[in-house]
C-alpha cells in the first residue's frame, strides 16, 4: 500500500519539539492523556450507536486495554471506540493546529514556564506520548469502515499515513519507549499510574496478561457521579475534575447532588480555582458533559447552562431525557430547560452561601469569574436579583470589595442613588475629576472596570428600590446630600460672580463649537477645573472608547 508523507503544521511541530525535549519529571501523565482519549472515543461510539446500532456489531463490550511487549520495548494503549479514518488521523494528529496549540507553546516558553502536565488542558494531550516514546505508531479503523490506517511518526517534523488491512475497530497506539523509560513496561508501575490518574474512567482499563497470565482491570470502572457522596474522597473528586475539565487546579467548589421531583438528574459540578484559557471565546459555550443514563450525549450541550455560568465544569446525568434524539433536537427539549433552570438555581444559591459565609474565599472567586457572572445581569432577567446579590465592586471607600447591600447601608443622609463610574482601572477612576465632588462629600462611588460593566448598567436601573446612577453622565446634584464638606468649600462656591461665569461659559461654548453639546457649572468638581461627562441615556465615554477599540 502506498505510504503518504506529510509535515506537521508549524505550530504543532514547535509543540512537539518542546514536548520531546521536556525535562518534566512526571512523564507518566502521557498515560492519563491516552486513556482519556480512548474513553472519549468509546463515548463517541456509544452515542453514534444510539441511532446506528450496527456500528457496535460484534464488539459491543467497550473497553480500554494496555499491552506490554518487553522484547519490543513497546507499550500499547488500545480501545474499541469510534476510531479514525485517514482524514481524522491527518487532521487530529498533525496538520490542524487546535485552538490550544499556540497557547500551550506560549505557556511552556517565556519567563514563567509552566510544566508539560498542563498539556491536556490545551486539547493537545495526544502529543504527550513523545515524552516517553521515540516513535509512536497509531493503527485505527473507524466504526463502519472496512479499511484501517496506520499513522507513524518520530515527532520530528513529519509523519506517514498508510492504508492497512486487518485493523480492529477503534484505535491502538503503540509507543516505542525511549531507553530511560523502561518503567512503563512494568505492570506495577502501570497499575499505580492508572489508579492515580484514571481510576474514575467509567470503562474498564484492562492490563493484558503476559504469557498466559490473567487480564487485570486496573480501575474502579464505574461512573463517579453515580456513587454515593460518602463513598467518594476529596482526591477522587479532584482527579475526576481534572479529567473532565482538562484542568490541573483544585476545584474551588464541588457540588454533587441528586435532584428529584418534576425532573430527575444527578449533577456533579465544579467551579475551578483558575481561569480556563478559553473563557472569553466568542461562542461562550458551556462545558458540562451531558449523559442520559450514563450514555455520553454531549460535551457542550447548548441550553444546558446559561452562558454566564460557562466557567462551571462537570457532569449532568438524567434518565428523563430522550436517548434517541439528535443533540440539536435536545436543545429544544422542555426537560432540558427544566434541568437548566434547576442547575442555575442551585449554582447561584451555592455561590450565595459562599458569599455570605466565606467572604475572603468568595472574593477570590469573584476576581476570577465575576466578569462572566455579571453577563447574567443583562441576560437573565428572571435571576437578575439573585445575581445582583452576588456582585462585588471596588469602590472609593477602602481597598476591599463591597456588595450593593453594604453600599446601601452606608449611604449618606439625603443620598438617593447608588453612584458608579466605569473606566479602565480602579486607580485611574479613584483620581478622576468626575468623582472629586463625591469624594469631598464622603459619598461612596463604585468603580467598575470590567468591559461587561458598560453593558449591564444599562439594563439594571435600580437595586432594591434605589436607582443606579453614573457619575460620568448627566447633571450631578449633590446639594441634597449632607456630606462631610467643610465650610470653606461652601464659601468658595460663591467666589465667582454669576455674570463672570456666564461669560466664561459663553466663551467656552464659542471656542468648542460642535465638539460639545453643552458647557455648564457643576458640584462634581472640587479641585479640577473641568471634566467631560456624557448626557443621561447616552453612551458613557468609556463605552465609546471600548467600542472604538473593538472596531479596529
Ligand atoms: P483532545 O483529547 O483534548 O481533543 P488530544 O490531543 O488528546 O486532544 O486528541 C486530539 C484528537 O485526536 C481528539 O480530539 C480525537 O479526535 C483524536 N483522537 C485521539 N485519540 C483518539 C482515540 N483513541 N480514538 C479516536 N480518536 C482519537
Ligand atoms: Mg485528549
Check pLDDT > 80 for residue 481.
no
DSSP state of 75: E
State residue 182's pLDDT score.
96
Ligand 1 neighbourhood includes 62 CB (under 6 angstroms): no
Residue 33 beta carbon below 6 angstroms from any ligand 1 atom:
yes
Q: Which mutation among 19, 35, 40, 94 tests ligand 1's pocket best, with the greatest number of atoms within 8 A of CB?
A: 40
User: Mean pLDDT lowest for which of 37-51, 129-143, 249-263, 465-479?
Assistant: 465-479
DSSP letter for 473, please. Answer: B
Q: How far is CA 278 from CA 92, 251, 281, in A?
A: 19, 17, 6
> Alpha-carbon distance 499 to 487, whole Å?
24
pLDDT (0 to 100) of residue 398: 85
Mutate which of 46, 90, 92 to test ligand 1's pocket (most atoms within 8 Å of Cβ)?
Answer: 92
Annotated ligand binding at 137? The verdict is no
Residue nearest to ligand 1 atom 13, measured at CA: 92
How high is the pLDDT of residue 111? 62
Ligand 1 and 45: CB distance under 6 A = no
pLDDT tens profile 151-179: 999 999 999 999 999 999 999 999 999 99
What pLDDT, in 10s, does the model give residues 411-422?
A: 999 899 999 999
Residues with Cβ within 8 Å of 52's Cβ and at least 6 positions away in sequence, in order, are 144
Does ligand 1 lie within 6 Å of residue 460's CB atom? no
Measured CA to CA, the distance from residue 399 to residue 367 in angstroms comes to: 14
For the segment 60-76, the average pLDDT, to the nearest whole number, is: 97
Give yes or no for a contact between 392 and 363, defined as CB atoms under 8 angstroms apart: yes
Mean pLDDT, to the nearest integer, of 29-54?
93
Confidence (pLDDT) at 550: 64
Is residue 483's pLDDT more than 80?
no
Categorize the per-residue pLDDT at 248 as very low, low, confident or very high, splitting at 50, 70 and 90.
confident
3-state SS of the chain: helix, strand, coil percent to 5?
40, 20, 40
The three three-digit cell numbers of residue 247, written as one number: 484542568
Kindly give the distance from the C-alpha atom of residue 220 to the centroid of ligand 2, in angstroms, as a whole number.
Answer: 20
Q: Given a cut of 90, is residue 278 above it in pLDDT?
A: no
Please tell me whether 67 is known to bind a ligand: no
Return mean pLDDT, the chain: 89
Q: Using a 6 Å cutoff on CB, does residue 125 contact ligand 1?
A: yes
Of the candidate ranges 223-237, 275-289, 405-419, the one whose mean pLDDT is the lowest: 275-289
Whole-angstrom Cα distance, residue 452 to residue 374? 7
What pLDDT band is residue 476 in, cutting at 50, 70 and 90?
low
Task: Kindly report the protein residue whose alpha carbon is nearest to atom 10 of ligand 1.
Answer: 92
Tell me: pLDDT of 402 over 90.
yes
**What residues are paired with 466 via a beta bridge?**
463
Q: Which helix (H) or strand (E) holds 188?
A: helix 187-197
CB 174 within 8 A of CB 74: yes
409: pLDDT confidence band, cut at 50, 70 and 90? very high
Q: Output the CA 240–ligand 2 centroid distance in Å.
A: 14
Instruction: Determine how β-strand 170-177 pairs with β-strand 133-141.
Output: antiparallel
Quote the CA–CA distance of 11 and 8 in Å, as a whole number.
8
33 is in an annotated binding site: yes
Q: For residue 100, what pLDDT is reported?
A: 81
The pLDDT tens digits for 493-528 are: 556 677 778 888 888 888 888 888 888 887 777 777
Among 281, 278, 280, 334, residue whose Cα is nearest residue 303: 334
Closest-CA residue, ligand 1 atom 14, reads 92
The reported pLDDT for the residue numbered 350 is: 98
pLDDT band for position 492 (cuts 50, 70, 90)? low
Residue pair 405/412 in contact by the 8 Å Cβ criterion: no
- Can you spell out the DSSP letters for 391-438? --EEESSSSSEE-HHHHHHTPPTT--SEEEEE-S-HHHHHT-HHHHHH
* Band of pLDDT at residue 368, cut at 50, 70 and 90: very high
Least Cα distance to 153 among 93, 113, 208, 230 occurs for 93
Give pLDDT tens digits for 309-362. 999 999 999 988 887 677 778 888 899 999 999 999 999 999 999 999 999 999
Task: State the Cα–Cα distance between residues 223 and 39, nearest whole angstrom.
Answer: 12
User: pLDDT band at 434, cuts 50/70/90?
Assistant: confident
Amino acid at each position: 500500500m502506498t505510504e503518504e508523507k506529510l509535515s506537521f503544521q508549524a505550530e504543532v511541530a514547535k509543540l512537539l519539539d518542546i514536548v520531546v525535549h521536556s525535562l518534566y519529571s512526571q512523564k507518566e501523565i502521557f498515560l492519563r492523556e491516552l486513556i482519556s482519549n480512548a474513553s472519549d472515543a468509546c463515548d463517541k461510539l456509544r452515542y453514534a450507536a444510539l441511532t446506528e446500532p450496527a456500528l457496535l456489531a460484534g464488539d459491543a463490550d467497550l473497553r480500554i486495554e494496555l499491552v506490554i511487549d518487553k522484547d519490543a520495548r513497546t507499550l500499547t494503549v488500545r480501545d474499541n471506540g469510534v476510531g479514525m479514518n485517514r482524514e481524522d488521523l491527518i487532521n487530529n494528529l498533525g496538520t490542524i493546529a487546535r485552538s490550544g496549540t499556540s497557547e500551550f507553546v506560549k505557556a511552556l516558553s517565556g519567563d514563567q514556564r509552566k510544566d508539560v502536565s498542563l498539556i491536556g488542558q490545551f486539547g493537545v494531550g495526544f502529543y504527550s506520548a513523545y515524552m516517553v516514546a521515540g516513535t509512536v505508531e497509531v493503527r485505527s479503523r473507524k466504526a463502519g469502515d472496512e479499511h484501517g490506517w496506520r499513522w507513524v511518526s518520530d515527532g520530528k517534523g513529519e509523519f506517514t499515513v498508510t492504508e492497512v488491512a486487518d485493523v480492529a475497530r477503534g484505535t491502538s497506539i503503540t509507543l516505542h519507549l525511549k531507553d530511560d523509560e523502561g518503567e512503563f513496561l512494568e505492570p506495577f508501575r502501570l497499575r499505580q499510574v492508572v489508579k492515580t490518574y484514571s481510576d474514575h474512567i467509567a470503562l474498564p482499563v484492562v492490563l493484558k496478561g503476559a504469557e498466559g497470565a490473567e487480564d487485570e482491570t486496573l480501575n474502579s470502572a464505574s461512573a463517579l457521579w453515580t456513587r454515593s457522596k460518602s463513598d467518594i474522597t476529596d482526591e477522587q473528586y479532584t482527579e475526576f475534575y481534572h479529567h473532565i475539565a482538562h484542568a490541573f487546579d483544585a476545584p474551588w467548589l464541588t457540588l454533587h447532588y441528586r435532584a428529584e421531583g418534576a425532573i430527575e438528574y444527578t449533577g456533579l459540578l465544579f467551579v475551578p480555582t483558575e481561569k480556563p484559557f478559553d473563557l472569553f471565546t466568542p461562542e461562550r459555550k458551556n462545558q458540562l458533559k451531558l449523559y442520559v443514563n450514563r450514555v455520553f450525549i454531549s460535551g457542550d450541550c447548548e441550553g444546558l447552562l446559561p452562558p454566564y455560568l460557562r466557567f462551571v465544569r462537570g457532569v449532568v446525568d438524567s434518565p428523563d431525557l430522550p436517548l434517541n434524539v439528535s443533540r440539536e433536537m435536545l436543545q429544544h427539549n422542555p426537560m432540558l430547560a427544566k434541568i437548566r433552570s434547576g442547575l442555575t438555581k442551585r449554582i447561584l444559591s451555592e455561590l450565595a452561601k459562599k458569599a455570605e459565609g466565606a467572604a475572603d474565599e468568595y472574593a477570590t472567586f469573584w476576581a476570577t469569574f465575576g466578569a462572566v457572572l455579571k453577563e447574567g445581569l443583562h441576560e437573565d432577567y428572571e435571576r437578575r436579583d439573585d445575581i445582583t446579590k452576588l456582585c462585588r465592586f471596588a469602590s472609593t471607600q477602602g481597598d476591599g470589595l463591597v456588595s450593593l447591600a453594604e453600599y446601601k447601608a452606608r449611604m449618606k443622609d439625603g443620598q438617593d442613588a447608588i453612584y458608579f463610574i466605569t473606566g479602565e482601572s480602579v486607580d485611574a477612576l479613584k483620581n478622576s475629576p468626575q468623582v472629586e465632588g463625591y469624594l469631598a462629600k464622603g459619598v461612596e462611588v463604585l468603580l467598575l472596570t470590567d468591559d461587561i460593566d458598560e453593558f449591564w448598567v444599562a439594563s439594571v436601573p435600580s437595586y432594591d428600590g434605589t436607582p443606579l446612577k453614573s457619575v460620568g453622565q448627566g447633571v450631578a446634584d449633590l446639594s441634597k446630600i449632607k456630606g462631610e464638606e467643610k465650610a470653606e468649600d461652601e464659601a468658595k462656591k460663591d467666589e465667582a460672580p454669576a455674570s463672570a461665569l456666564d461669560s466664561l461659559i459663553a466663551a467656552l461654548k464659542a471656542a468648542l463649537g460642535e465638539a460639545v453639546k453643552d458647557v455648564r457649572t457643576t458640584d462634581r468638581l472640587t479641585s479640577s477645573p473641568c471634566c467631560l461627562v456624557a448626557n443621561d441615556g447616552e453612551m458613557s465615554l468609556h463605552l465609546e472608547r471600548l467600542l472604538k477599540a473593538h472596531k479596529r
